[in-house]
């Protein structure tokens, strides 16, 4: 009981202090914001462009994504037996003219998966990422059925690491437990890190710092993957998205993907 009282007192004191701090911070932030150039005032809209004319189909992005996001390796035998998880994958040969196309989550502007989630475990964050909160997911898999791109995966088993040694895991990404659905986060943890460092260093986040930010884009030897803010017309990703070569997967689904492909029409 005493501990509860102590905690409550501390919390109240803390809240008062942080509210005062936030008030001071707001005035400072407003002053700082008015000095910033126009693009940073706009709400960001993260997106990605994948240039299929540049892509060498090396699958480096697939491996980099597995490594970055703590996706357990299965090995060939187990992968054939069960359902392997690939946040970044290649479309199978039956995909018509999009055969062997690297495909992450499309981060749709109108995501069908979000509409069907009964517990609010998946949602679109203010910057356009279709996010999944693993702890909230009840594993009903409605979202897997709803996604027209099959970009969602269910964890049928507890994640296992080679030699049962989790020490090589990326500490910035939580491993998902058995019984939840998981998906690409556009390497949100990396976005989080550069945003925080830019704010701490009081620097503006440049487009150059973002272009190769996700693990897949960073690993791409032909620089076929470009990441950035689609709402910033001066960004590389917005410029590429406006290219006449730009195509979207399944436009008829009405999902308006924020992952855009580039390729010459044949």
Partner 1 sequence: MSYARRSLRTVLLIAVVILFVGMVGARRAPATSPRQPLPMSHKRHLDKQMKCRACHQGVEGEAMASFPTLADCMDCHKTPQGQEPAEPEVRVFAARGQELSWVLLNRLPGHVYFSHAAHVTLGRVKCEACHRDMSKVDQAPIEADVHLDMSACVACHRDGNASLDCLACHK
Radius of gyration of the chain (CA): 21
Q: Of 72, 107, 74, which Cα lies nearest the Cα of 214?
A: 107
Among 1, 2, 3, 252, binds partner 1 (CB under 8 A): 3
H/E element, 226: strand 225-229
In the numeric block, which tokens belong to residue 16?
A: 């008062």
Nearer to partner 1, 24 or 242 (CB): 24
Angle among Cα 100, 218, 222 to the nearest 5 degrees reads 55
Is there binding between residue 6 and partner 1 (CB under 8 A)?
Answer: yes
State yes or no: residue 73 binds partner 1 (CB under 8 A): no
Q: Report in angstroms how near the CB of residue 107 gets to partner 1 at its nearest.
A: 13
Q: Is 205 in the site for partner 1 (CB under 8 A)?
A: no
Which is closer to partner 1, CB of 35 or CB of 76? 35
CA 177 to chain centre: 19
Q: How far is the CB of 91 from partner 1 (least distance, A)?
A: 27
Which of the ranges 73-81, 83-91, 128-136, 157-165 carries the binding residues for partner 1, by CB under 8 A? 128-136
Which ranges of 179-232 does DSSP label H, i.e. alpha helix? Answer: 188-200, 207-210, 215-219
Choose the binding region for partner 1 from 72-80, 157-165, 189-197, 216-224 (rule: CB under 8 A). Answer: 189-197
Distance, CA of 6 to CA of 75 (rounded, Å)? 52
Smallest gap, in angstroms, from Cβ of residue 246 to partner 1?
Answer: 27
67 touches 215 (CB < 8 A): yes
Give the integer Cα–Cα distance in Å for 132 and 1. 36
Tokens of 88: 């970044």
Strands 46-51, 225-229: pairing is antiparallel
> Please, which of residues 7-26 interact with partner 1 by CB under 8 A?
7, 10-11, 13-15, 17-19, 21-22, 24-26
Least separation in angstroms between residue 15's CB and partner 1 is: 5
Give contact residues for partner 1 (rule: CB under 8 A).
3, 6-7, 10-11, 13-15, 17-19, 21-22, 24-26, 123, 125-126, 129, 131, 133-135, 172-175, 185, 188-189, 192, 196, 199-200
């Amino acid at each position: 009981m005493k501990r509860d009282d102590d905690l409550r007192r501390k919390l109240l004191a803390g809240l008062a202090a942080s509210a005062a701090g936030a008030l001071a911070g707001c005035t400072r932030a407003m002053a700082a914001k008015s000095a910033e150039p126009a693009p940073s005032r706009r709400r960001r809209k993260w997106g990605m462009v994948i240039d299929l004319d540049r892509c060498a189909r090396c699958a480096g992005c697939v491996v980099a994504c597995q490594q970055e996001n703590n996706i357990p390796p299965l090995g060939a035998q187990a992968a054939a037996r069960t359902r392997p998880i690939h946040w970044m994958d290649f479309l199978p040969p039956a995909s018509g003219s999009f055969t062997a196309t690297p495909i992450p989550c499309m981060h749709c502007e109108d995501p069908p998966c979000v509409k069907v989630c009964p517990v609010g475990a998946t949602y679109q964050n203010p910057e356009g990422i279709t996010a999944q909160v693993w702890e909230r997911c009840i594993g009903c898999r409605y979202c897997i059925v709803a996604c027209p791109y099959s970009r969602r995966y269910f964890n049928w088993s507890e994640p296992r690491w080679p030699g049962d040694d989790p020490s090589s895991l990326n500490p910035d990404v939580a491993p998902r437990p058995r019984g939840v659905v998981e998906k690409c986060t556009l390497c949100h943890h990396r976005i989080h890190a550069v945003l925080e460092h830019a704010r701490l260093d009081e620097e503006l986040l440049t487009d150059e710092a973002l272009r190769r930010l996700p693990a897949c884009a960073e690993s791409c030897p032909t620089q076929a993957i470009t990441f950035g803010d689609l709402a910033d017309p001066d960004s590389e990703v917005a410029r590429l998205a406006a290219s006449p070569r730009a195509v979207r997967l399944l436009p008829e689904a009405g999902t308006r993907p924020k992952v855009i492909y580039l390729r010459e029409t044949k």
